[in-house]
Amino acid sequence: MRRTVNRTMPHELERDSRPARDSLFISCTATALACFVPLLAISSQSFWIDEALTGFKAAQPSLADWWRQMSAEKLSDLQMPLYMLYAWGWAKLFGTGEWALRAANLPWFIGGVLAFAFSFRGTSRLFAALVATLSSFAWFYLDEARPYAMQLAASLLIVASLRRLAAPEATGGKQTRWAWAFCAGIGLLAGTSLLGVFWCGAALATLGVVVGFGRAISLAKSVRCAWLALGVWLLCLAAYYTWTLKVGARASAMATTNWQSAFFIGYELLGFSGLGPGRLEIRDAGLGAFRPHLLPLAFYGACLAALVVLGVVSLYRRNRRMLFSSGIVVLGTLAVLLAAGWVWHFRLLGRHCAPAFVVVVSLLVAGGAEAWQRRSLWPRIILCAFLLAALGSCLSARFATRHRKDDYRAAVAFAQAVLRAGDSVWWSADLHGAEFYGLPISETPESRTAKALWIANPTAESLAGLALPNVAVCSKPDLYDVGGALAERLVREHFRPVGRFTAFTVWARPP
């Protein structure tokens, strides 16, 4: 009896196992990117105005104190219930230090990126992890103790679910798991803020477009428990948000939405902001602040535009109906939010449109995959150039001096030293930032110098009756000295700038 000899050559065995090894390498690399790159975005810089609001509430000793503070202020924080509660619980475990409270964003963002990346296969999985983590928009809001990173995570999870539910092989157990994930993403996004509810509506409309309304209904029937739980949660949130509106909670009305708002939303979402001027420079100089940064912005913009065009071409070739319908839903949601900001007089910013980030990422992933698959060298060069420029934008957003946050920590330390020396202080800046960092503040004039006097948008008449301080600590006059009365009084009394911190000027009276 002849022995059967396995004549498979060694190089054939190696060739057969290579796809499995490549897939494992891509998956491990994507996981490492998702887990470790976001760590670089977190800093220990001072909290700025909005973060101080989060920190102040997270520092409350009990849940009753937390709620008392939330309901008493009637600020937009009251319309961020899930995030603010999460921040309070996180602080009880890890403290209210700047790095610790911002690190609360990491579990959400890492989970969202992993879900999004693993909804792809092959090299697209790697591109998904790269594009999602190398975005200066994501880095900016990972480094803020606010709900925007949680919104990024929810939108990544929602789109990952939509992708897998729309796949032809999405049946049985896989379909059930991704349906639960979709419901979880909707519930998370709706709970982060009132504005998140608008994006939930866009996601639900997109579900009908992507998988078909008939299949969406059958999908809902197959996971009744998930949809029932989501429905109850959304009804509770609807009642809660209605109550917040009745008691007067709303965003700041210091500025309104205009044509520039739409420009800056796109500028941030597309990842330009790290390469451009700092926010304070834009605040002071307007569009003129962009002039020194035009070359890197133009280079990044050219690479970005090329990838977006490739992404649109790729998606158009696969499913033009889904591309157009999804685009209409997203642009329609943006238009509604811009109109609401204009009508109700609040400024819509890039962070308020954080869920749209996943649309940009999806286009870039499709463009990156298309560039890599083409045999021509130039598309791959453009892809590599874009990733390097995106990395530069992220590192600039994190480490460049022009992007540093308002330095309430240093300004409060200076004011505390002045008070300890027995001198008087005027504080013309955010009240919560001062309180979080421990500056004793009085909102009414006092003869003693143990507290700084809070001065916000005074009139010339109100200042005339106040005894002059030794030092005035001033920030963002467009918010706290709109009429210019404080600046005029300080100049008239021969005060001189003696120190500067990011977003602060310290004025002192001459001897």
Separation between Cα atoms, residue 435 and residue 40, nearest integer Å: 29
Separation between Cα atoms, residue 359 and residue 190, nearest integer Å: 18
Averaged confidence pLDDT in the chain: 89
Contact 459, 487 (CB under 8 A): no
Residue 171 — pLDDT band, cuts 50, 70, 90?
low
Does pLDDT of 198 surpass 70?
yes
What is the reported pLDDT for 170?
55
Task: Render pLDDT for 368-377 as a digit per residue (tens, 0 to 9).
Answer: 999 999 878 9
Tokens of 44: 């220990």
Residues constituting the chain: 511
Separation between Cα atoms, residue 42 and residue 143, nearest integer Å: 5
Contact 347, 253 (CB under 8 A): no
Q: Which residue has the tokens 């202080």?
A: 425
Does pLDDT of 185 surpass 80?
yes
The residue with greater pLDDT, 335 or 29, is: 29
Residue 332 — pLDDT band, cuts 50, 70, 90?
confident
For residues 147-164, give the mean pLDDT: 94
Percentage of the chain beyond pLDDT 70 is: 93
Separation between Cα atoms, residue 124 and residue 130, nearest integer Å: 10
Torsion angle defined by CA atoms of residues 19, 21, 25 and 31, in that order, rounded to the nearest 10 degrees: 90
Residue 502 — pLDDT band, cuts 50, 70, 90?
very high
Secondary structure element (H or E) that encloses residue 454, with its range: strand 452-454
Task: Name which of 97, 123, 117 is nearest 37 in CA terms.
Answer: 117
Question: What b-and-e string marks burial along 182-193, b requiring 16 or more CB atoms within 10 Å of the CB?
Answer: bbbbbbbbbbbb
Does pLDDT of 77 surpass 70?
yes
Residue 346 — pLDDT band, cuts 50, 70, 90?
confident
For residues 283-303, give the mean pLDDT: 93
What are residue 501's phi and psi, to 5 degrees? -125, 165
Percentage of the chain beyond pLDDT 90 is: 69
Task: Render pLDDT for 390-428 as a digit per residue (tens, 0 to 9).
Answer: 999 999 999 999 999 999 999 999 999 999 999 999 999
What is the reported pLDDT for 328?
84
Secondary structure element (H or E) that encloses residue 452, with its range: strand 452-454
What is the reported pLDDT for 9?
38
- Give the predicted TM-score (pTM) of the model: 0.91
Q: Which of the residue ranges 13-17, 241-245, 309-313, 492-496 would you say has the lowest mean pLDDT?
A: 13-17
Tokens of 397: 């957003």
Long-range Cβ pairs for the range 420-425 (8 Å, 24+): 422/449, 423/449, 423/469, 423/470, 423/471, 424/449, 424/453, 424/467, 424/469, 424/470, 424/471, 425/449, 425/452, 425/453, 425/469, 425/470, 425/471, 425/472, 425/473
Domain locations along the chain:
19-403, 408-508
Residue 167 — pLDDT band, cuts 50, 70, 90?
confident
431: helix, strand or coil: helix
Task: Render pLDDT for 224-273 as a digit per residue (tens, 0 to 9).
Answer: 888 899 999 999 999 999 999 999 887 665 667 777 888 899 999 999 99
- Three-point CA angle 132, 363, 348, nearest 5°: 75
Secondary structure element (H or E) that encloses residue 268, with its range: helix 259-269
What is the reported pLDDT for 30?
95
Q: Name residue 499's beta-bridge partners.
A: 506
The residue with greater pLDDT, 74 or 313, is: 313
Does pLDDT of 5 surpass 70?
no
What is the reported pLDDT for 82?
96
What is the reported pLDDT for 20?
58
CA-to-CA separations, 151 to 24, 357, 482, in angstroms, rounded: 29, 10, 33
What is the reported pLDDT for 11?
41
For residues 87-114, give the mean pLDDT: 97
135: helix, strand or coil: coil
Torsion angle defined by CA atoms of residues 117, 119, 120 and 122, in that order, rounded to the nearest 10 degrees: 80
Separation between Cα atoms, residue 492 and residue 257, nearest integer Å: 35
Residue 169 — pLDDT band, cuts 50, 70, 90?
low
Residue 472 — pLDDT band, cuts 50, 70, 90?
very high
- Chain centroid offset of residue 209 CA: 27
